[in-house]
Amino acid sequence: MSVRVRFAPSPTGLLHVGALRTALYDYLFARRQGGQCILRIEDTDRTRYVEDSEREIIQTLGWVGIEFDEGPHVGGPFAPYRQSERKEAGIYQEHIDELIRMGHAYKAFDTPEELDELRQFQQINKQATGYFGGDWRDASAEKVTEAEAAGKPCVVRQRIPRGQKVLVEDFIRGRIEFDTDTLPDPVLLKADGMPTYHFAAMVDDHLMEITHIVRGEEWISSAPFHALLFDQFGWERPVFVHCSTIVGADGKKLSKRHGATRVLAYAAEGFLKAALKNFIALIGWSPGDEREVLSEEDLVAAFDLKGLQASPGKFDIEKLRWLNGHVIRQMSPDRLLNVLLAYIAHPYTTEYWTNFEEENRMPYKPPVEEKLILERLQRIASAAEADRAYVLAALKEEQERVQTLAEFGEALEFFFVEEPSMDAKAVDKWLTQEHVPELFQWILDKLAESKVETVEHYESILKGFQSHRGLEKLGPVVHPTRVALTGKTFGPGLFELMAVLGHERVERRIRRAMAFQSDV
RNA sequence: GCUCCGGUCGUCUAGCGGUUUAGGACAUCGCCCUCUCACGGCGAAGAUCGCGGGUUCAAAUCCCGUCCGGAGUACCA
């Protein structure tokens, strides 16, 4: 039988990195096994429904490159793929009736207030909380009909057999044993007629012929209900795979407090999907060998449920940054520029940096103030429109000095502004040196002599000065010149840099630095 | 409280009874390359495998206990 897995988010908010990983595992597993990956929307809770959330989930998954064989956006043989629509089609009612008929479920007419009271009583008496039967598990048929006739609202609960053990086979952890006397009777159908997750997801998993339920470990405690439900229907249980959670630096489940968890925030920060996928896959999974850098094809080829880790993993953004820089360095400059321009043009990039919120702050120090990032990125875009070859040449020089796309704004800035801002310390240290006026004049003279704009030519100009002055080291020649051209003490190799800038810019900047210098 | 899960360098992990002086990667530090910063190369430091008992000729690896951490405990998913 072919493998079928599903990713089943509820549209209650944004897609965060923990959910993304589950989706990734689903996707990789399906691809590796030649099976199908299904997207199902679990929108059974109207009170928590967030408009647009489904759209963002699909969009985000699309951005990362996780494709589904079936789902609300692409259709499929088991449609509909939204539980609200499946409810309308009567799918759950039909199955709940069957379960009641078989005696595995019953109607319970307790009011929410009564249940609250029960819970409080149990807490005070230090008992396990939950509904273990109450007035309705074993109520007479007359009592039930009477309540129904009175028009009392009711829920349908699963009848958990008592005095037994339930064994749940978790693919990662192995056998997990539960005593049914500790399992309360869960609600399967709410008073509003909507099914709960416990019911809807399992019915759908069976109907959609899901072979492996891959989900977060927060579901382990409810796994016995689910397993039992399959048994009660007489259905074959799927394989349960409970993935460990991704936690923050403090060991707690990843949440707002740990900075951005929204996947799109990583896109806006300039992380590449290849790096993000690679990184996310490696939290809680390993290919079993010593590879760390894996392309999507590598991931698919290597993916095996057996490599899944039972213990929770921390999200280490430094490693993500390293991986991202690695991916950037591996791209051809031309492709990188396309990716960078697409990133800058993306509406979400603008939205993110314009409405930057402190709570989105990544747990690392950004290269510049958030306010300036967008401005600098857009400078790249307009420069590329005017002269793509120039931007490409500049990009090449910074490619290995950057870890995220956002950092290109800062790194490339001096290429595009006529008067780069001068670092005061750099000016103080290098432009004040005694030989500098002569050096700058030398450069200007040589520029006037020849129009050649190659790396070698610039090198010969500066090395010419070095031997002219009999300087032992190249530093005193190179550093003041770099400061004059870029305003900074770091950056690409000077001769390469000059070749990119060209005669005109070099001359202008040297003259500016000379003026600057006389001000000192 | 009850139930369940987890626990190898700071972090992600390899390991699944002997080939292990516990391997790799990120981060850190040093050296090399070099005009700076990066990249790259080389190297160092860093884990008595949570702790305590067993089983065994032999345990990170199996068993028991214990501690710590986490999750669930809703007519949420």
A416 closest CA partner among A395, A400, A443: A395
This complex has an ipTM of 0.95
Give SS3 for A505. Answer: helix
Q: Which nucleotides of B are covered by protein (CB under 7 A)?
A: 1-8, 10-15, 23-27, 34-40, 69-77
Q: What is the DSSP letter of A385?
A: H
- Distance from residue A311 (CA) to nucleotide B49 (C1'), in Å? 15
> For position A259, what pLDDT does the model report?
67
Nearest nt (C1') from A311 Cα? B6
For the segment A153-166, what is each residue's pLDDT rounded down to a tens digit?
999 999 999 999 99
Which residues of chain A (47-66) touch nucleic strand B at CB < 7 A? 47-48
Task: Tell me phi and psi for residue A226, to 5 degrees.
Answer: -70, -45
Helix (H, G, I), strand (E, B) or coil at A13: coil
Q: Which residues of A are catalytic?
A: 256
Question: Vertex A510, ends A506 and A513: CA angle to 5°?
Answer: 140
Distance (Å) from CA A116 to C1' B16? 47
Rounded, the Å distance between the CA of A255 and C1' of B50 is 26
Which residues sit opposite A212 in a β-bridge?
A: A5, A239
Q: What is the pTM of this model?
A: 0.94
Q: Is the CB of A251 under 7 A from strand B?
A: yes
**What is the structure's pLDDT at A329?**
98
Whether nucleic acid strand B comes within 7 Å of the CB of A10, the answer is yes
Per the structure, the residues numbered 183 to 212 in protein chain A that have their CB within 7 angstroms of any atom of strand B are 184, 187, 190-192, 194, 196-198, 201
Residue that has been written with the tokens 């598990």 in this structure: A137
pLDDT of residue A106: 98
Closest CA to A190 of A108, A89, A101: A108
Average pLDDT on A389-407 reads 98
Greater confidence (A327 vs A251) lies with A327
Instruction: Read off the pLDDT band of A226 (50, 70, 90).
Output: very high
CA of A355 to C1' of B43 (A): 46
Q: If you average pLDDT over residues A20-36, what whole number do you get?
A: 97
Question: Is any atom of strand B within 7 angstroms of residue A22's beta carbon?
Answer: no
Listed in order, strand segments (DSSP E) in A197-341 are 212-216, 239-243, 246-247, 313-314
Backbone angles phi, psi at A189, to 5 degrees: -130, 125
Percent over 90 (pLDDT), chain A: 89
pLDDT at A433 over 60: yes
pLDDT band, very low/low/confident/very high, at A402 (cuts 50, 70, 90): very high
Distance from CA(A316) to C1'(B6), angstroms, rounded = 19
